[in-house]
């Protein structure tokens, strides 16, 4: 019975540890790429949160059996390099697509995320998406827009109310006195005294003054009749 080589065991354990750390992986075929090109691509993907490495297919199949990334088994044919993604999968898909345009020998075969198989068409669609940071910025803008609109409305309501109230008062000829002020003013007027009428014209005022003088002038009373007899009549009567 042959023993399993330690290097193969180490490779299986390495793949298992990567699968345990992420549920997203992208499989590529690197046939024809130079060591320098693979190293450059590895460094680029590392900045995006992906670990890109060449593995032997039989060892990968053994390591991913029963895991969430097992669906990529159908892509494990030919010289295979796998990018285990712990960051933005759309950014990784875009980097692989752009690199394949420069170096057509790199072939993106497919991938998996959360147990769902990703075809080359799916990865191409992901590559067309904005980056995670851009999407978060756009989302923040969408959330902030209604808040700014609401703040503007809340600010406009009292302003519009004040303008409308001012226009209404002007159309009514001024500001009416509050009810409590009217009561206080009415209480200051002595009982039985009527408020002065509005000032009349000069001619009307003169007529009113003349009538008032005539009403206030005393009327001469007729002289009372005397009951005493004239002195001459009293002297002519005979003494008794």
Residue 225 CB-half CA count within 13 A: 2
Q: What is the model's pLDDT at position 105? A: 94
- pTM of the predicted model, to two decimals? 0.56
Q: What is the model's pLDDT at position 198? A: 47
Q: What is the model's pLDDT at position 112? A: 95
pLDDT below 50 — which residues of the chain?
A: 1, 176-187, 189-190, 192-201, 204, 207-208, 211-213, 215, 217, 224, 226-240
Q: What is the model's pLDDT at position 164? A: 63
Q: How far apart are CA 202 and CA 234, in angstroms?
A: 64
Structure tokens at 172: 């009514």
> To 5 degrees, how large is the angle CA 24–CA 30–CA 33?
140
Q: Is the separation of the CB atoms in 5 and 97 below 8 Å?
A: no
Partners of residue 228 on adjacent β-strands: none
Q: How far apart are CA 18 and CA 72, in angstroms?
A: 14
Q: Rounded to an integer, what is the distance from CA 91 to the centroid of its chain?
A: 30
Q: How far apart are CA 173 and CA 68, in angstroms?
A: 80
Q: Is the separation of the CB atoms in 172 and 164 below 8 Å?
A: no
Q: Write out pLDDT tens, residues 50-98.
A: 999 999 999 999 999 999 999 999 999 999 999 999 988 999 999 999 9
């Amino acid at each position: 019975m042959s023993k399993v080589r330690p290097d193969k065991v180490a490779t299986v354990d390495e793949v298992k540890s990567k699968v345990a750390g992420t549920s997203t992986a992208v499989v590529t075929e690197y046939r024809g790429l130079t060591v320098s090109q693979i190293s450059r691509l590895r460094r680029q993907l590392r900045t995006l949160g992906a670990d890109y490495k060449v593995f032997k297919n039989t060892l990968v199949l053994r390591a991913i059996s029963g895991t969430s990334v097992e669906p990529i088994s159908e892509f494990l044919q030919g010289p295979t390099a796998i990018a285990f993604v712990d960051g933005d999968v759309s950014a990784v898909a875009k980097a692989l697509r752009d690199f394949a345009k420069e170096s057509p020998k790199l072939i993106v075969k497919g991938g998996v995320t959360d147990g769902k198989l990703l075809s080359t068409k799916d990865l191409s669609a992901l590559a067309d998406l904005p980056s995670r940071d851009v999407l978060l910025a756009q989302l923040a803008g969408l959330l902030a827009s209604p808040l700014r609109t609401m703040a503007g409305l809340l600010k406009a309501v009292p302003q519009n109310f004040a303008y409308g109230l001012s226009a209404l008062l002007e159309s009514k000829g001024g500001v009416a006195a509050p009810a409590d002020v009217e009561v206080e003013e009415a209480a200051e007027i002595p009982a039985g005294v009527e408020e002065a009428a509005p000032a009349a014209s000069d001619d009307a005022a003169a007529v009113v003054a003349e009538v008032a003088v005539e009403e206030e002038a005393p009327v001469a009373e007729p002289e009372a009749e005397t009951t005493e007899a004239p002195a001459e009549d009293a002297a002519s009567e005979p003494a008794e």
